[in-house]
């Protein structure tokens, strides 16, 4: 609509800022809002488009950025007191790409401190509220990104995912979130949590929007040592390919075990049935080894996080929140051999996954095993970790393997909270993952429902 | 070693590796330390013979090669 002149970037940015003013006091999704800058950028975009210099689908679109991502001249805090006043001198590569595509940055989004946590709780910046029920968690760590998109404050946002931090909040807030293949999207200029597991990914209302963002975000970047030169295709090309001819794997182990909430299992099974009824072949896949994935995720993550934070946490332990300080410090005496063994186990795990998936195009599973607990239940206290530790059981598996993995809404609980379904593909095959997600969204309207605990948009 | 086993020993050993942690903080790790112990216990049980990661080291290219 913007490209055709039917919608003005100025109006879109004003609508976004108005929605933020209306909801931010209640939801706490943003750490900074750059209203003046956004208005100026919108004016420039409007003039460019009027002058027939349309840059593509991201031109004039308001974008929210998780506050791990550098924007020159603005502080990157990681949601921590430790980095208060840490002003970036250059844009992260993903920001450079979005800026070149004409995107308009609205501000920095709240998160779990240094992205080290899964519930979304942050005692320094304040907890982000779920727009479906403000007493419940959003999940994290990209808590602000999920809430901002779900509530209509911004149409799209960026998150990061080390154990599930794009997909878990996407699931609990009823939006789409894609963790691309490891190396597909540059991490340069993004604060590390665990460099061999960190991914940057889009969080949007629909799968199609994830594909449009991937067309801008993906590509080789020499500034990121893990960046891949794997060829990039147009991620929207296969979106309308439908389900016929695809083979869907459904793990018979772990992802549907007793621990998984019955309502979640029922919704995901119903979604799989719908996908089968519309042309895909569905097969059960035994994966008796897959329960090791969560341990490997933590076993790799923790020593890398200690390495990232060693200097800062030794100098300023008091500036960290108690919960995140404890998580990092718990890795202080992990022997080197345990980290090396975790990386070896990861190689073993990737081999098992590749073998299992050789006969299917994608896997479909629940995104998380439990319904959203309340914020009060998840707030850690002395000697008590708080609820929600099961959240990354499924998502963390695919950070270990680096596969593309996408969460979309597939139903609601009796309490009215969104349920997420996770579609996971072969490395560098985001296109098939997005094709399945888009096909499912065309068959259902789960992704179109507005959150119930906030006023509707005008 | 789990921080819950002996907070002072945990703190002393971390300090030897230039990682400063107070005894109070070591005591507070509590439940998460148990999660960490369980994770590595699971990892140690996996037979990883023949699964050495091949790509843990990637040579750094010079600017000339990049351009």
Residue A327 resides in a domain: no
Checking if the pLDDT of A365 tops 80, the result is yes
The reply to whether residue A385 touches residue B35, judged by beta carbons under 8 angstroms, is yes
The reply to whether residue B48 touches residue A341, judged by beta carbons under 8 angstroms, is yes
Catalytic: A165?
yes
Q: How far, in whole angstroms, is CA A348 from its chain's centroid? A: 26
The reply to whether residue B43 touches residue A225, judged by beta carbons under 8 angstroms, is no
Pairing assessment for the beta strands A62-66 and A104-109 based on DSSP bridges:
parallel
Q: How confident is the model at residue B29 (pLDDT cuts 50, 70, 90)?
A: confident
Mean pLDDT of A183-200: 97
Checking if the pLDDT of A351 tops 70, the result is yes
Radius of gyration of chain B measured on its C-alpha atoms: 19
- Structural domain of A373: 9-295+333-448
Checking if the pLDDT of B13 tops 90, the result is no
Q: In terms of pLDDT, which residue wins out, A30 or A1?
A: A30
Cis omega (within 30 of 0) for bond into A141: yes
Catalytic: A141?
yes
Side by side, the strands of the sheet bearing A418-425 are: A30-33, A104-109, A62-66, A156-161, A199-204, A176-179, A405-412, A418-425, A362-366, A247-251, A281-285
Question: Which candidate, A433, A443, A373, places its Cα nearest to that of A404?
Answer: A433
Judging contacts by C-beta atoms under 8 Å, the chain A residues touching residue B9 are none
Q: Which of B12, B13, B34, B43 to substitute to test the interface with A, most A CBs within 10 Å?
A: B43
The reply to whether residue A310 touches residue B18, judged by beta carbons under 8 angstroms, is yes
Checking if the pLDDT of A428 tops 90, the result is yes
**Tens digit of pLDDT for each residue in A370-413?**
999 999 998 876 556 678 889 999 999 999 999 999 999 999 99
Domain-wise residue ranges, chain B = 1-67
Residue in A226, A314, A345 closest to B43 by CB? A345
Q: Which residue bears the tokens 């995720």? A: A297
Query: Shortest Cα distance from B32 to chain A (angstroms)?
Result: 7
Residue A303 resides in a domain: no
Residue A261 resides in a domain: yes
pLDDT at A207: 98
Residue A319 resides in a domain: no
Q: How confident is the model at residue B9 (pLDDT cuts 50, 70, 90)?
A: confident
Rounded-to-integer distance, Cα A99 and Cα A73, Å: 14
Rounded-to-integer distance, Cα A163 and Cα A141, Å: 9
Residue in B1, B29, B52 closest to A344 by CB? B52
Residue A56 resides in a domain: yes
Query: Shortest Cα distance from A402 to chain B (angstroms)?
Result: 14
The structural domain count of chain A equals 1
**Tens digit of pLDDT for each residue in A169-178?**
999 999 999 9
Burial A3-38 (b: 16+ CB within 10 A, else e): eeeeebbbebbbbbbebbebbbeebbbbbbbbbebb
Q: How confident is the model at residue A112 (pLDDT cuts 50, 70, 90)?
A: very high
For residues A66 and A113, the answer to whether their CB atoms sit within 8 Å is no
Read off the pTM: 0.95
Among residues A8, A16, A165, A405, the one annotated as catalytic is A165
Number of Cβ within 10 Å of residue A134's Cβ equals 18
Q: What is the CATH number for A281? A: 3.90.1300.10
């Amino acid at each position: 609509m913007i490209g055709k002149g039917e919608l003005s970037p100025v109006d879109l940015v004003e609508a976004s800022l108005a929605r933020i003013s209306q909801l931010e006091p209640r939801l706490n999704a943003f750490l900074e809002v750059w209203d003046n800058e956004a208005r100026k950028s919108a004016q420039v975009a409007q003039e460019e488009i009027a002058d027939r210099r349309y840059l593509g689908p991201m031109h004039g679109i308001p974008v929210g950025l998780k506050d791990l991502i550098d924007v020159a001249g603005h502080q990157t805090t990681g949601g921590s007191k430790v980095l208060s006043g840490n002003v970036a001198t250059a844009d992260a590569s993903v920001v450079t790409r979005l800026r070149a595509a004409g995107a308009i940055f609205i501000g920095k989004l709240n998160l779990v401190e240094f992205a080290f946590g899964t519930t979304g709780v942050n005692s320094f910046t304040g907890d982000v509220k779920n727009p479906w029920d403000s007493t419940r968690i959003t999940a994290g760590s990209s808590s602000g990104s999920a809430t901002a998109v779900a509530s209509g404050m911004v149409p799209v946002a960026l998150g990061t995912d080390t154990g599930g931090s794009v997909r878990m909040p996407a699931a609990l807030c009823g939006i789409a979130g894609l963790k691309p293949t490891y190396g597909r999207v540059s991490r340069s200029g993004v604060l590390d949590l665990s460099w061999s597991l960190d991914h940057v990914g889009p969080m949007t209302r629909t799968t199609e929007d994830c594909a449009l963002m991937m067309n801008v975000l993906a590509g080789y970047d020499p500034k990121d040592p893990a960046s891949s030169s794997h060829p990039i295709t147009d991620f929207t090309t296969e979106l309308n390919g439908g389900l016929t001819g695809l083979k869907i794997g459904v793990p018979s182990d772990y992802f549907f075990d007793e621990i998984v909430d019955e309502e979640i299992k029922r919704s995901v099974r119903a979604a799989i049935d719908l996908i089968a009824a519309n042309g895909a072949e569905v097969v059960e896949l035994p994966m008796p080894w897959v329960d090791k994935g969560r341990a490997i995720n933590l076993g790799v993550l923790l020593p890398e996080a200690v390495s990232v934070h060693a200097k800062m946490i030794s100098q300023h332990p008091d500036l960290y929140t108690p919960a995140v300080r404890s998580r990092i410090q718990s890795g202080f005496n992990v022997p080197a051999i345990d980290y090396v063994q975790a990386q070896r186990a990861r190689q073993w795990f990737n081999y098992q996954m590749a073998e299992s998936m050789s006969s299917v195009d994608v896997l479909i599973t629940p995104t998380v095993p439990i319904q959203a607990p309340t914020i009060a239940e998840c707030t850690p206290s002395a000697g008590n970790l708080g609820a929600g530790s099961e959240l990354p059981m499924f998502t963390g598996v695919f950070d270990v393997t680096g596969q593309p993995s996408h969460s979309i809404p597939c139903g609601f609980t009796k309490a009215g909270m969104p349920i997420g379904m996770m579609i996971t593909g072969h490395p560098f095959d985001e296109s098939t993952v997005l094709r399945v997600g888009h096909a499912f969204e065309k068959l259902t309207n789960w992704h179109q429902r507005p959150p119930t605990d906030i006023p509707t948009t005008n | 070693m789990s921080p819950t086993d002996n907070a002072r020993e945990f703190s002393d050993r971390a300090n030897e590796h230039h990682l400063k942690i107070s005894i109070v903080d070591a005591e507070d790790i509590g439940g998460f330390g148990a999660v960490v112990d369980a994770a590595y216990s699971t990892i140690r049980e996996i037979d990883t013979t023949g699964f050495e990661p091949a790509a843990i080291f990637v040579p750094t290219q010079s600017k000339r090669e990049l351009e």
